[in-house]
Amino acid sequence: MNDTRQRIALLSKALDLLTDRPIKVMEVCGTHTVSIFRQGLRSLLPPSLKLVSGPGCPVCVTDQGEIDAAVSLAGINGVTVATYGDMLRVPGSGSSLMNERARGRDVRIVTSADQALEIARNEKTRLIVFVAVGFETTAPSTASVILDAHRDRISNFTVLDLHKAVPPALEALASDADIDLDALLLPGHVSVILGLSPYGFLPERYGIACAVAGFEAEEIMLGLVEVARQIKEGRPRVASLYGQAVRAEGNPFARSLVDRVFEPGDSSWRGLGEIPLSGYALREEYSSMDALKRLDISIRRTPPPDGCSCGEVLRGVMTPRECPLFGNLCNPSHPVGPCMVSGEGSCAAHFRFSAGGDDPWKR
């Protein structure tokens, strides 16, 4: 047995000793979800620890109406839609960006906001719409690119701004009695930006144990041990296990970039509905870069597909396997909802990597 396996076996043992009653822990971030599955950590958790996935997959929480708006934008002559790869497959009510690309619309994959601006600089005759999704981790780079475009007067660059803020969504989950969470595993990279103070209300007001953890197997296991210990001791708090990278005050520079460009606005989350002030709205000064205004497209509310339980899955009240569509009508080749589409979606992870904590060999 190698060193890592030995250390993780010890952490697994510690977790077993610390959980003397059933506890429900939500891993908030999609990157955590995938890492937990990919490392096979579910097979190492005690049966008393129930791990549910939260609303931290940017693709999954993007509302269907928002996808429809992106699809409509892609259909306008002269428009190039640039976005992160994961967004392409998500079905809207009628089509997806992937389908639009197959139909000859100009949809391009970028891995950063910079690349989208670069397209605008190089192709002056196209109107670029950067579909900006994600949380505190991607909002600063979108802000920075908007500031660059503004400074350099790049008039053919626009943004479909779908950014969302994590803490208001956590508040919505924490205050929902149906969900009944004991603990949250918080994402390291979001916390690098936000710091720890925005999470303070979770233990204080709702008694929820919190640990900020990195994405390696050992860091995740340490995070789980930390929350199990807080629960056992009856002293919930926000602990950071992300080391030097997370400072209590976060990254003020990144936040100041975001503040210059965005202001808090209401946002619609798939599964959670409209959450007040949970979005990053473009400030008036930059409204010429708002793709919706520029191209006169609005975000409509559309009902989720029939029978799709992504909303319940994202709130942690249903496990993917409890959804009647899971595995038969909804699978990665033919996804019904976004949780089965995204590489970071919990349904896709359950389908690809195994069952819950019990038998990894059964789908």
Partner 1 sequence: METLSIGHGAGGRLTEELVSLILGRFPGNPVADREDCAVLPGGIAVTIDGYTVTPLAFEGGDIGSLCICGSANDLSVRGAKPLYIALGVIVEEGFPFEDLARFMTSAGEVCRALGIELVTGDTKVVPRGQADGLFLTTCAIGKTGAHPGLGTRNISPGDVILLTSPPGMHGATIAASRYGLKVNGLSSDCAALWPMLETLLPLEGLKCMRDCTRGGLGTVLCEWAESAKVGIEIDETLIPWDEASISVCDLLGLDPLHMAGEGCAAVVVSPEEAEAALELAKNHPLGKRASIIGSVTEEHPGYVGIHTASGGTRLVDKPVGEELPRIC
Which of 64, 71, 72, 89 touches partner 1 (CB under 8 A)? 89
Pattern of binders to partner 1 over 109-148, x per CB under 8 A?
Answer: x-x---x-----------------xxx-xx----------
Q: How far is the CB of 64 from partner 1 (least distance, A)?
A: 18
For partner 1, the closer of residues 4 and 155 by Cβ is 4
Which of 14, 98, 147, 281 touches partner 1 (CB under 8 A)? 98
Answer left, alpha or beta for residue 354, where phi above 0 means left and psi between -120 and 50 means alpha.
left
Rounding to the nearest 10 degrees, give the CA dihedral for residues 311, 207, 177, 183. Answer: 40
Residue 111: strand, helix, or coil? coil
Residue appearing with tokens 């979800």: 33
4 is a contact residue toward partner 1 (CB under 8 A): yes
262 is a contact residue toward partner 1 (CB under 8 A): no
For partner 1, the closer of residues 46 and 236 by Cβ is 46
Contacts of 153 (CB under 8 A, 6+ apart): none
Rounding to the nearest 10 degrees, give the CA dihedral for residues 100, 102, 105, 107. Answer: 80
Q: How far is the CB of 44 from partner 1 (least distance, A)?
A: 5
Interacting residues with partner 1 between 174 and 233 (CB under 8 A) = 189, 217-218, 221
Q: How far is the CB of 326 from partner 1 (least distance, A)?
A: 15
Q: Applying CB under 8 A, which part among 94-102, 166-174, 196-204, 251-259 lies near partner 1?
A: 94-102
Contacts of 286 (CB under 8 A, 6+ apart): 146, 150, 261
37 is a contact residue toward partner 1 (CB under 8 A): yes
For partner 1, the closer of residues 113 and 202 by Cβ is 113
Which of 13, 103, 205, 293 touches partner 1 (CB under 8 A)? 103
Q: How far is the CB of 65 from partner 1 (least distance, A)?
A: 19
332 is a contact residue toward partner 1 (CB under 8 A): yes
Q: Applying CB under 8 A, which part among 42-50, 251-259, 309-317, 318-326 lies near partner 1?
A: 42-50
42 is a contact residue toward partner 1 (CB under 8 A): yes
For residues 88 and 69, give the distance between their C-alpha atoms in angstroms, rounded to a whole number. 13
Q: Applying CB under 8 A, which part among 41-49, 72-80, 157-165, 317-325 lies near partner 1?
A: 41-49
End-to-end Cα, the chain, rounded Å: 28
Helix (H) or strand (E) holding 296: none
Number of residues that bind partner 1 (CB under 8 A): 53
14 is a contact residue toward partner 1 (CB under 8 A): no
Phi, psi angles (nearest 5°) of residue 105: -70, 155
Pattern of binders to partner 1 over 61-80, x per CB under 8 A?
Answer: --------------------
Name residue 54's amino acid: G
> Which residues of this protein are in contact with partner 1, per CB under 8 A?
1-2, 4-5, 8-9, 12, 31, 34, 37-44, 58-59, 84-89, 98-99, 101-103, 109, 111, 115, 133-135, 137-138, 189, 217-218, 221, 332-333, 343-344, 351-354, 360-361, 363
